[in-house]
Every structure is written in structure tokens, then in C-alpha cells.
Amino acid sequence: MKNCEYQQIDPRALSVSPSSVQNHTEKKVQRLRRKWEVFPGKNRFFCDGRIILARQSGILPVTLGLIVVTCGLFFAFDCPFLVTHLTVFIPVIGGVLSLFVVTSLLRTSFTDPGILPRATPDEAADIEKQIDNSGSSTYRPPPRTKEILINQQVVKLKYCFTCKMFRPPRTSHCSLCDNCVERFDHHCPWVGNCVGKRNYRFFYSFIISLSFLTSFIFGCVVTHITLRSQDGKSLIQAIQESPASVVELVICFFSIWSILGLSGFHTYLVASNLTTNEDIKGSWSSKRCTEESGNPYSYNNIMTNCCVTLCGPMPPSLIDRRGFLPLVAASPATETELPPFPVKNDTNMCTKSTKDVLERLVRSLDSRGRCPPGAPKTTPVAVEISAAATPPAERSPPTGCSRQHAGRHTAAAPCPPFARGRERRDSFQSSNPAFRLASPSPSLSRTFILGEAPDVGFIPPP
């Protein structure tokens, strides 16, 4: 739960100048833009949309570095000795394993985990209408949730305020990536991406192969040092001859415990067709003694569950990163207006996130002198759909920021924080203020960052 204190935000803190924005919006967008350039989530795209990565991929280089360094040391220092003393297959096996590990890791990181594109404004309006209509009845379930029956089990579908739709079952909204992800497992910082429906099998093969690799290297290094110290030398001497082995030993020793544990945990999850999210939240903990679990998605057969999760058909990416946006001349009136400063909507914004947004804003403007991050991404998406629909969320100058992005093919760190903050605000404006919003599930602090963002934390003023 966020700490929500009401605080007036000083508009002068924002150093955005409206005049520069207007100059950009005078010119029309000349070239065809791809959909990834206007993607509203916090993702980064490379190779013209072929590669997708979460915004914070901080630990991925560390993971890659550790693997590459360990393997490199292994091949350079241990393999020559072991080849001569044992067999030539050792570097062969090691090579195959490392290749598999690195490929799986890169596929996990760069694959779209199953991101659900956000609802178009027409859809969102339609859903709102339906929610409003179904309000009055004797039994009133908490608003913004829908109950359905799957395999005789009651499943609650929650409404996602950011994506403006009812989340399909097993879908969760990742706050780090600001996307709804299908069959959301967890957001893995080591891999730098969410793990969801489309990349779970890559993630699983990554951790399994990594377990084998670390065990293999560990075994080989121990054998190496043992063999060396057997030739009439002491252990200390053997270590002095091959210091790299100690480094490898240390790395492998510490990673083996966590990796093996993780592999075991995920093997259990795969066998019972659960996600980390569901397991931690205890969604299907058995309430009845007669059944093993109340999981409605399980096929109650370990082999079937494994096959379905790991070898099932590969669903396509729903966000169509490389598709072209239809060229629609956006009405200049909406673009030149800057977003109204959050003063009026303060009750809907938590101080902490606003401060965050402002800090990042100031920093980004100072360091790179970039475009005013006026949520450029959301506007073109809405405009493209239909000129008739007046999207409530769009008031910001889009082309200013997007034009600069159009110039660079590898978009790094597009202006997300402000966009995110605005998304939240706008969703509250469009919601019926009479609704009392349901309290969110408590966010658990574990090593893996869960995706259940506290979409709603407070009651909007009537």
C-alpha cells in the first residue's frame, strides 16, 4: 500500500516550456511509425522492435557476466588439465551446456512474456457502460470485479485500471513493466523481464540448464584440484597453480543452492500447473480434504501438466511491435495543450509517486535535454483508432517526444514515468466516482517481484 498524503504540487517545479512543444507539433509526422514506438508500457525496444526488454534490466548484464566469466575461466584454466588427464568430452559438454544456458537466457529476456495490449478507448467505454448498468441488484459484489466459473471453481476477474479491461484469468499487472501479462509468473530481475505465458518455457529451460552447468563446473573444478593435489603436491600448492579454479568454485558453490532450489520449486509449479504468483498468494490452497488442489487449470496429471506448460503451442505476441501505425492526421488542438498540472487531481495521486515522477522529470530534462515527457505514447494509439471517439485520457503533446524517438531507431528509456503517472490519474477520472473501490491485495515482499500492482488504494472523493 502506498503512503497517500495530500500535498500540493508546485507547477513551477516543472521546467517544461510550452513554446518548444508547440514548435514540434506544427510539423506533421512524415514517416510511417511502428507500433513499438508508441507502446504505452515501460518496455525498451531494440532492433526496430524485434527485441523487447523491461525498462529496468539492471541485473541482466550481471547475470550474463557471471555466466560468461565462469565459463570462460573454466575453459581457459580447467579444461586443458582435464582434457589431458580425463577426457576430451568435458569441454564439449561444457560448451553445449553454456550455449544452451546463454541462448535460453537471451530468449527469456528478449521475448514478449505475453503482454496484453491495452484496451482501445471504445472498448473501455463499452466496459464502463456495462459496469454501470449492472450496478443495482440485491447482492452487490465489489465493483470492478467479475466472477466466473471455471471447472466448477469460482474465479474472480479483476478490472485493471491501467489497461482498462477485465484481466483474463491468471493474468496479472506487472508494476515494473506497467503491462498486464498473461499467465504471469513473476518479474525476474536477473533476467530483466517478466516471466509469463510466452517465455516461461525459456525461463524453465534456462534454470534447469544452469543447474546442470553449475553442477558440472563445480564437479569438474573439484576433480581438477583433487587431481592436482594428488600428484604429490599439497592442496595449497594446487590452488596456487590454478587460482581461477577457486573463483569458479566460489561462484558455483553459492549459486548452486539458489539455482537448484529454484529449479526444484519451478518443477513443482510446472507439475501442478501453477504460477509463482498463484502459489505465493495461495489462490488454490486446498480447502477441501477430498481434492488435492482446487486449481481449476490443472489437468490432475503430472505428465499432462508438464507437457502443456512446456511443450504446448507457442502463442503469438499480441502487441504486434513491428506493425505500422496507420497515418492519421492528429488534430492539432489536442496536441498543443499541455497536460494540466496534477494540482487538481492531487487526491488521486500519492505524494511519493508524484515526487518520483518530478525527480525523474527534472533529471531527464537536465541530463539529456530531451522532449517533454508528456505521455506521448498514449495519444497516437487513441487517435489512430477512430477520429470520432474522444479519448478522455489524451491531452498531451505527442509528436514532440515521438518525433525525437522516430529519429532514433533504438529507443532507449522512453519517457515512461510521467506517462505512467498520467495513466493512473486518467483512469480515475474516467471511473464513476460513486464506486467504492475494492482494497487491493497486500503486496508481498519477496525476492521475486510480484506483479499485482495496487491499482486501487483509496477511495476517490465523491
Partner 1 sequence: IRPLQDLRQPAVSSKVFVQRDYNSGTISKFQTKFPSELESRLDKQQFEETIQTLNNLYAEAEKLGGKSYLEGCLACLTAYTIFLCMETHYEKVLKKISRYIKDQNEKIYAPRGLLLTDPIERGLRVVEITIFEDRSIGSGR
Give catalytic residues, as residue numbers: 188
Phi-psi region at 232: left, alpha or beta (left = phi > 0; alpha = psi -120 to 50): left
- Helical (H) or strand (E) element with 224: helix 200-230
Q: Whole-number minimum distance, CB 45 to partner 1, in Å? A: 18
Work out whether 316 is an interface residue with partner 1 (CB under 8 A): yes
Number of residues that bind partner 1 (CB under 8 A): 45
Which of 74/166 has CB closer to partner 1?
Answer: 166
User: Binding residue for partner 1 (CB under 8 A) from 20, 386, 432, 447?
Assistant: 386
Work out whether 267 is an interface residue with partner 1 (CB under 8 A): no
The letter for the amino acid at 235 is L
Contact 188, 195 (CB under 8 A): yes
Q: Which stretch binds partner 1 (CB under 8 A): 148-156, 277-285, 338-346, 408-416?
A: 148-156
Residues 6+ apart with CB under 8 A from 423: 40, 162, 178, 375, 378, 393
Which of 127/406 has CB closer to partner 1?
Answer: 127
Long-range contacts from 280-284, C-beta under 8 angstroms, 24+ separation: 280/444, 280/446, 280/450, 281/441, 281/444, 281/452
Work out whether 181 is an interface residue with partner 1 (CB under 8 A): no
Work out whether 205 is an interface residue with partner 1 (CB under 8 A): yes
Contact 166, 157 (CB under 8 A): yes
All three cell numbers of 89, joined, read 568430452
DSSP letter (8 states) at residue 394: -
Print the binding letters for residues 52-91 with partner 1: x by CB under 8 A, - otherwise: ----------------------------------------
User: Binding residue for partner 1 (CB under 8 A) from 55, 144, 186, 201?
Assistant: 201
Site for partner 1, residues 97 to 126, rule: CB under 8 A: 99-100, 103-104, 107, 116-117, 119-120, 122-123, 126
User: Binding residue for partner 1 (CB under 8 A) from 45, 110, 161, 202?
Assistant: 202
CB atoms within 10 A of CB 412: 11
* Neighbour-count burial of 229, counting CB atoms closer than 10 A to its CB (0-12 exposed, 13-18 middle, 19+ buried): middle
Work out whether 311 is an interface residue with partner 1 (CB under 8 A): yes
Q: Which stretch binds partner 1 (CB under 8 A): 70-78, 185-193, 223-231, 306-314?
A: 306-314
Which of 162/396 has CB closer to partner 1?
Answer: 162
Q: Whole-number minimum distance, CB 456 to partner 1, in Å? A: 21
All three cell numbers of 270, joined, read 510446472
Q: Which stretch binds partner 1 (CB under 8 A): 312-320, 356-364, 372-380, 406-414?
A: 312-320
What proportions of the chain, in percent to the nearest 5, are helix, strand and coil? 45, 10, 45
DSSP assignment of 81-121 equals: HHHHHS-THHHHHHHHHHHHHHHHHHHHHHS---EEPPPPH
Work out whether 291 is an interface residue with partner 1 (CB under 8 A): no
Alpha-carbon Rg for the chain, nearest whole angstrom, is 26
Positions that interact with partner 1 (CB under 8 A): 99-100, 103-104, 107, 116-117, 119-120, 122-123, 126-127, 148-151, 155, 157, 165, 168-170, 182-183, 201-202, 205, 296-297, 304, 307-308, 310-316, 318-320, 386, 388
